[in-house]
Structure 1
């Protein structure tokens, strides 16, 4: 599998050329000596989709925040394989040459290797939650904690989007920045929760900036990412192998990933904490960001205390031999 060249970098963007092929764009925030925390974005979203308030919140708590553009998103590599057609997507029949979530998880671990990060707190939303789950299951020694936000297991009977959402996703890609912005605001009005309304001015500015950053709509890239999710199938058995302290957060009115997806994820991972937030939909709205930062920070701090206790116990055991 080959990857196309990524677009030119901006001042804040950095690039890592991975041995497996993709070139991964990323950004770093927070103190250089802070505990690493990696944010993995969702379907079709770039690294700027994480609210600035959220990034700054983690940085203010001492984390070294890493954000990446997944393959086929933002300024990371475009993968040179044909996208699945609409019929394949609707029937969940991925192309035989499709990449899958395991490949995207390998990109994530490859970036950690390139940055010299041995162990990280993983935070993923939606598809990014799926990628993070795979990393935690297949590379347990690299994951200090896992926060999975409005994500799911891949089982067909849980976490499915509402039919009204599927119809919106099936529309042709927008052709202008104005159309893209209005489409984004309309989708947020549909999938956002009534308890946490979006800031329309902020969202309008973001949608305009992301169009300029990625160079317009990327329908083929999104289709390939959908193919990756479908090619991965039901990951429930794999999730049972996750050992990292895990937090699963979901809204109770999510029309993109039904709340049953969050419940199934928490049930599949031993010891996972499940927080279902009333009035929250499929959006990191201003009113919920601070709570997500606190919940994730509490998880990470608890994981750190557990690691310290384990190290101390191992040291004492060695001394007593």
Structure 2
């Protein structure tokens, strides 16, 4: 299979920032953060984003591979193929944050780079079935969706998923209607329903709590007080278990913090990456043209 990767900046940059999107989204959800970093820091930063397997412009994959550990292995492959060797910061939203934690949970020999910085946005280390709307992962309706995904027609799966989608829609708050509409459109374009449903068992069983104390990256955790998918209790757990982690809580924000609290996410990236404020406003540093690469060699 192939992954759609966007690589901006000089490979000799002093720091690399890697963006990891959430379920049913694509790398486009990081547009504001990518534009901010490119405009503010120029060639001092290299910026990499990509679409997870089954999402966006990346190819579909067997449903058996829709697991967080496989996404972590994909991240390792991206870092290897892009030849990232210097200091790096991983920035993950929702399932992207879980991917970053899954990567840190891999054996040292399977991690081409140990990140210097880590930004975890509206995400969790596990216990998804115990909190918020994650409790739906354990319901018979969700189990039924998983059972038919990949064998039933797309239209039938969408019909089965309609009650769940209606429930989720009632929780949309915090960002402007236009922003939410754009995010929703991106989500619909990014995945098939079968892909979205295919990841549900992985989220249900996901648990990276045992490795949190081993993280040595500068870590910033962000949470929204109105987030029904990953309630702030998850962020408090992360901040308490990761040595030296900083927790930024936004009481009125929901799950889509890259859009709802963009400036706070920008600042979190800067702190986690250890970017010296003296390097700001480097508009004279030209950023090389965006590179789009369909990367071969990722195991199915």
- In structure 1, C-alpha distance between the alignment counterparts of 2:234 and 2:52, rounded to whole Å: 22
Aligned match of 1:64: 46
Aligned match of 1:5: none
Are residues 158 and 141 of structure 1, via their aligned partners in 2, closer, same or farther at CA, if it must alter by over 3 Å? farther
The structure whose RCO (Cα within 8 Å, separation 6+) is larger is 2
- In structure 1, C-alpha distance between the alignment counterparts of 2:24 and 2:129, rounded to whole Å: 23
* C-alpha contact 2:104 2:215 (8 A) present in aligned 1: yes
Aligned length: 255
The residue correspondences of 1:95-174 to structure 2 (distance < 5 A) are 97=64, 99-119=66-86, 120-138=88-106, 139=111, 141-155=113-127, 159-161=131-133
Are residues 268 and 160 of structure 1, via their aligned partners in 2, closer, same or farther at CA, if it must alter by over 3 Å? farther
Name the TM-score, length of structure 2 as normaliser.
Answer: 0.72
* C-alpha contact 1:191 1:256 (8 A) present in aligned 2: no
Are residues 158 and 292 of structure 1, via their aligned partners in 2, closer, same or farther at CA, if it must alter by over 3 Å? farther
Are residues 131 and 285 of structure 1, via their aligned partners in 2, closer, same or farther at CA, if it must alter by over 3 Å? closer
**Of 256, 259, 269, which residue of structure 2 is paired with 1:296?**
269
**Of 23, 27, 37, which residue of structure 1 is paired with 2:17?**
37
Are residues 303 and 148 of structure 1, via their aligned partners in 2, closer, same or farther at CA, if it must alter by over 3 Å? farther
Aligned match of 2:181: 204
**Of 54, 61, 78, which residue of structure 1 is paired with 2:60?**
78
**Of 197, 202, 217, which residue of structure 2 is paired with 1:228?**
202
Gaps of 5+ in 2: 146-152, 278-300
* C-alpha contact 2:84 2:113 (8 A) present in aligned 1: no
- In structure 1, C-alpha distance between the alignment counterparts of 2:60 and 2:80, rounded to whole Å: 21
Gaps of 5+ in 1: 1-21, 82-96, 305-321
Are residues 290 and 31 of structure 1, via their aligned partners in 2, closer, same or farther at CA, if it must alter by over 3 Å? farther
